[in-house]
Structure 1
Amino acid sequence: MAKDMTGTGREVDYLNPQPHQFDVADIARGMANTARFSGQSQMYYSVAQHCVLMSRLVSAEHALEALLWGAAKAYCGDLTAGLKFLLPDYTEIVRGMDTAIRERFGLPRTQSGLVEIANKMVLAAAYRDLMPQGTSFPLPDDIKPLSMKVHAVHSVRAQGMWLERLVELQGRVDKVAA
């Protein structure tokens, strides 16, 4: 069986994900409890915090898409690029989850290039600030890391930050939780 139960009691089907299966409380909790860099950073750094930073970097038009950039990771985890390369089925499952989540939130089917640039900028800054000294994330020449320092926050705070940002972008919590 390729299904799991979420914290709100919803059932998520990995092989046939449907938009109604995704709840903002589950997404916020799952992203806040999912570490970037496979948990290897000096301080815990969550997917939720990463997405909040991304959403503040892009224009208002792309902010919700950036905030939800890692929503599928709330259910599937966040594997390193090397592992994703070795697990093509995992990549396909994440793609299906992302498609259903995009539909749930009224986002375009394909990710904006600006959101991917924001991801790389925030990723490089987090790598610079939270990984061992002297390491850097390889970026194309035309993309620079954020100049601001990334300060990791506790997962509970990251969950709250993510939900607060969602409310900023979409309005009342009861509206987005439907």
Structure 2
Amino acid sequence: MTWIMTATGRRVDFLRPDVNEITLSDIGISLSRVARFGGHSPLKIGQHVCEVATLMMMRATEQGMSEKEIAEAGIVGLVHDFPEAYCCDVMTPLKRLLGTAYSDIEARLHDVIVKRFELEGLFEKYHDLLKWADFQAVTEEARRYSLDGKYVSEITGELEDRPHQWTDPNAEAFLSDTIWEDEEDRQYAVIMTFMRLMLATGRGYVLTPKTTGIPGTSVDMVRETTEDLMPMPPILLSGDVYF
């Protein structure tokens, strides 16, 4: 057996993923539950992707991009880890050891997700911006939650400072240290942010009951819903809000 059953009853095959089995609701549910750093960080993937999306929109704004481009950058930041709704979050050192056994599966899932939501070309367009934002979010997370620069002393048994191995302790921080504790808040943030950004890029027509997995989904429904969004938990230290 090479497939899994999702929370809403879809069947996703790792070897031959079917674009019609991908839904936004499944992705939102999963990412609101799956932990980062193999569970050694308190964050869930749902919060991480919102952080990356925000960082990309912040930098795109600073670079003078158009409103549509800023929203497109946000979509790329949000979607970059959508495959992990199906293949989990594998820590980078383990991912390197697994090699193509994992990366091929992740790539297939990425391709069908891009096709499902008609996002062709966006990852190539915002590749450099995504690379910066993802690394920024990951390294800030590691520093915040003692995943680098700390180690348990063999003598005292207490957590002590150690030289940082892969993060810069003096690097500028942009993200708040708020942890989104509520699963429904994380799910809501992923789903509604995606819908809002899709509208902003002229891709609202993609949002249907089939693609979202949410009955009654239409452009008008999404527009009415996103006009009265619940406030998102704080993401940036500056307090600036991009969605």
**TM-score, with structure 2 as normaliser:** 0.64
- Secondary structure at 2:95's aligned position in 1? helix
Confirm or deny: 8 A CA contact 1:51 1:69 kept in the other structure.
Answer: yes
Confirm or deny: 8 A CA contact 1:120 1:139 kept in the other structure.
Answer: no
Cα pair distance change 1:120/1:132, threshold 3 Å: closer
- Secondary structure at 1:35's aligned position in 2? coil
What does residue range 25-40 of structure 1 map to in structure 2 within 5 Å? 25-40=25-40
What does residue range 15-164 of structure 1 map to in structure 2 within 5 Å? 15-41=15-41, 44-58=42-56, 59-88=70-99, 89-108=101-120, 110-111=123-124, 112-131=127-146, 134-135=149-150, 138=166, 146-154=173-181, 155-164=183-192
- Secondary structure at 1:71's aligned position in 2? coil
More helix by share: 1
- Secondary structure at 2:110's aligned position in 1? helix
Confirm or deny: 8 A CA contact 1:127 1:137 kept in the other structure.
Answer: no
Q: Name the aligned partner's letter for residue 14 of structure 1.
A: F
- Distance, in Å, in 1 between the alignment partners of 2:104 and 2:197 is 29
- Distance, in Å, in 1 between the alignment partners of 2:38 and 2:140 is 16
- Distance, in Å, in 2 between the alignment partners of 1:146 and 1:34 is 24
Q: Name the aligned partner's letter for residue 176 of structure 2.
A: K
User: What is the RMSD of the two structures over their aligned residues, measured on CA atoms?
Assistant: 2.4
Cα pair distance change 1:145/1:115, threshold 3 Å: farther
Confirm or deny: 8 A CA contact 1:19 1:101 kept in the other structure.
Answer: yes
Confirm or deny: 8 A CA contact 2:36 2:43 kept in the other structure.
Answer: yes
Highest CA radius of gyration, 1 or 2? Answer: 2
Confirm or deny: 8 A CA contact 1:31 1:74 kept in the other structure.
Answer: yes
- Distance, in Å, in 2 between the alignment partners of 1:145 and 1:10 is 42
Q: Name the aligned partner's letter for residue 73 of structure 1.
A: E
Which string of whole-angstrom CA distances, capped at 9 and with x for unpartnered residues, describes residues 48-107 of structure 1? 111111112223221111111111101111111121112121121111111111111122
- Distance, in Å, in 2 between the alignment partners of 1:132 and 1:121 is 14
Unmatched 5+ stretches in structure 2: 57-69, 151-163, 214-243
**TM-score, with structure 1 as normaliser:** 0.85
Aligned length: 173
Percentage identity across paired residues of the two chains: 25
